Chains A and B, each alone.
Chain A
């Protein structure tokens, strides 16, 4: 299922090209949008929200054309900006009711959903106090809640973990995963921290300088690779030399006792075990390695 489809989408600001010839389809579920600052993520989101028209190309969200159906799109899409965006002198409840009404919900539904949504993001008694007294983590929850209060089909979350401590970060990531899995709302989330996206995303899109670098499902990106990680108690260099003599490609690891061997065929693990046993060493680790998402960056030349 496709939520967003862009075709040759381009946006220039004078001489600067923010998004260049972007053609990509995003599926339902959690989509991670990765790119360095200035890579064109925000421009892309604003075009998709129908706030700025593309210089050329087309984009459709949930079947609506971004160029002509901006108002319609913004009724059924939520947006959590990266920046500070909360009024400080009203309570979270008051603010959320207002935001729900601004999305087109009638007054009674707005009140009901404001209370519901705040409970879902984990704000209880404090929701009656002015937002000015909240911690960063609580403010981030209110920001997320205002994007969800009108029960959108899709939410854009711009750097939702910014400024949070590790525990708050985990909570927020858990919430985002729930938004997709339990609430059934598709999520487009941007972050420059790859580890986060790896944890929660079903699909990863990498853009750099406004150009699409890669669009792939997370399962595909982290599938089993042809490398065997080995760690021995001693004499790693001898083992590596023996393996090289046997014609295997070997690379030294970060620690003295570890190294990686290319899995040319299925006999490699047995060979490693045989050599280690022959030398009378202890074998600490023998593991097929998964790709890390950061390798997407290495191959596409993006620095994080």
Chain B
């Protein structure tokens, strides 16, 4: 036996904990909340906060300008609808996600934190779902903020309240769909590298290239061949996919006219692609984390 080193450990008595242990559900919630806080740099040093908040600011500026213009000119319509705005500003959404997705998973992989999570009352699947939902909620808040700025502007401009509330609710719901779709894609990509820089580059390149490539493709096909064929190519890009879904589900005008699905079959096809991509990327994530943690 050994004598305690009193210069380091003072004998102040160890208090035992006999309060409640809230178990798996609480642990899941805590991990989700931690991911959400981390996405906005809360509880992190100042330099981690810079990027997300600069992007939140940049993302809101066009909305504020639109609102100012609408109020000053007395226009009777928003130039960009609640569902069109996030699609038109897709580059900023991609930038935000490219920074946050690797932050959510690459750090845990690089710093080897998985064994600590696995020795607590959660499962590997819980970890994946908590990370995915936490980050998707962060992206949803990011997208919903300027959409809400537009909504407040529309109310200030005294647009018909009922139409605006319905339009805003549609925008918020579609923001959630978009957030879930692009977050699952980005996390699946980011989970394959411990290096954050690489993860950022991979996510950004994938989202931006897909968007650019698909936009050109549907425009060319739409003008050269026919618009129905063009609309099916739109599912190649997550943003145009959601743009099409807005048109199919809510009956609103899409940001990119070529992305409008062709009738009921088109709507079904877009929906099926959405479900398949989310299920597929979540499957990849679950597989990826099956082996992590040295077990």
A-to-B contact residues, CB < 8 Å: 42, 46, 49, 51-52, 71-72, 74-79, 81, 83-90, 94, 98-99, 101-106, 109, 113, 116, 119-122, 130, 146, 150-151, 170-171, 173-175, 177-178, 181-184, 199-200
Across the interface, which residues of A come within 8 angstroms of B288, CB to CB?
none
Contact between B119 and A77, CB atoms less than 8 A apart: yes
* Docked CA distance A103–B112 (Å): 18
Known: A46-B295, A71-B121, A83-B112. A122 touches B17 (CB 8 A): no
Most A C-beta atoms less than 10 A away, residue of B4, B27, B30: B30
Known: A75-B21, A120-B14, A200-B1. A87 touches B34 (CB 8 A): no
- CB-nearest residue of chain A relative to B22? A104
Is B74 part of the binding interface, using a Cβ–Cβ cutoff of 8 Å? no
Q: Of the candidates B26, B116, B118, which one forms a contact with A146 in the assembled complex, judged by CB atoms under 8 Å apart? A: B116
Known: A101-B30, A200-B1. A51 touches B118 (CB 8 A): yes
* Docked CA distance A71–B22 (Å): 11
Most A C-beta atoms less than 10 A away, residue of B8, B107, B295: B8
* Docked CA distance A146–B111 (Å): 15
* Docked CA distance A75–B23 (Å): 7
* Docked CA distance A109–B16 (Å): 11
Q: Is the interface of B mostly helix, strand, loop or mixed?
A: loop
Q: Of the candidates B3, B4, B31, B108, which one forms a contact with A102 in the assembled complex, judged by CB atoms under 8 Å apart? A: B31
* Docked CA distance A197–B184 (Å): 47
- CB-nearest residue of chain A relative to B107? A87
- Annotate B30-73 by CB proximity to A: 1 below 8 A, 0 otherwise: 11001000000001110010000000000000000000000000
Q: Of the candidates A113, A171, A200, which one forms a contact with B5 in the assembled complex, judged by CB atoms under 8 Å apart? A: A171
Most B C-beta atoms less than 10 A away, residue of A42, A90, A181: A90
Q: Of the candidates A87, A89, A174, which one forms a contact with B2 in the assembled complex, judged by CB atoms under 8 Å apart? A: A174
* Docked CA distance A42–B21 (Å): 27
* Docked CA distance A54–B20 (Å): 30
Contact between A182 and B113, CB atoms less than 8 A apart: no
Known: A79-B115, A81-B116. A150 touches B17 (CB 8 A): yes
Q: Of the candidates B19, B44, B111, which one forms a contact with A85 in the assembled complex, judged by CB atoms under 8 Å apart? A: B111
Contact between A74 and B121, CB atoms less than 8 A apart: yes
Q: Of the candidates B22, B34, B48, B111, which one forms a contact with A86 in the assembled complex, judged by CB atoms under 8 Å apart? A: B111
Across the interface, which residues of B come within 8 angstroms of A51, CB to CB?
118-119, 295
Q: Of the candidates B10, B19, B115, B119, which one forms a contact with A78 in the assembled complex, judged by CB atoms under 8 Å apart? A: B119
* Docked CA distance A87–B267 (Å): 44
Is B294 part of the binding interface, using a Cβ–Cβ cutoff of 8 Å? yes
Query: How many residues in B have their beta carbons less than 8 Å from beta carbons of A?
Result: 46
12 A-B residue pairs with Cβ-Cβ distance under 8 Å, sorted by A, are A74-B120, A79-B119, A85-B112, A86-B113, A94-B43, A101-B26, A102-B117, A104-B21, A104-B27, A182-B14, A200-B1, A200-B2
| Closest beta carbon of chain B to A112's beta carbon, Å | 9
* Docked CA distance A172–B207 (Å): 49
Contact between A49 and B24, CB atoms less than 8 A apart: no
Contact between B21 and A105, CB atoms less than 8 A apart: yes
Across the interface, which residues of A come within 8 angstroms of B118, CB to CB?
49, 51
Contact between A76 and B21, CB atoms less than 8 A apart: yes
Contact between B111 and A98, CB atoms less than 8 A apart: no
* Docked CA distance A71–B122 (Å): 7
Is B15 part of the binding interface, using a Cβ–Cβ cutoff of 8 Å? yes
* Docked CA distance A76–B120 (Å): 9
Contact between B1 and A199, CB atoms less than 8 A apart: yes
Known: A87-B107, A106-B19. A178 touches B44 (CB 8 A): no
* Docked CA distance A150–B19 (Å): 10
Contact between B16 and A178, CB atoms less than 8 A apart: no
Known: A83-B115, A103-B120. A71 touches B24 (CB 8 A): yes
Across the interface, which residues of A come within 8 angstroms of B272, CB to CB?
none
| Closest beta carbon of chain A to B146's beta carbon, Å | 28
Most B C-beta atoms less than 10 A away, residue of A42, A101, A171: A101
Across the interface, which residues of B come within 8 angstroms of A103, CB to CB?
21, 27, 120-121
* Docked CA distance A113–B119 (Å): 18
- CB-nearest residue of chain B relative to A76? B21
Is B9 part of the binding interface, using a Cβ–Cβ cutoff of 8 Å? yes
* Docked CA distance A121–B12 (Å): 11
Known: A130-B45, A200-B2. A105 touches B111 (CB 8 A): no
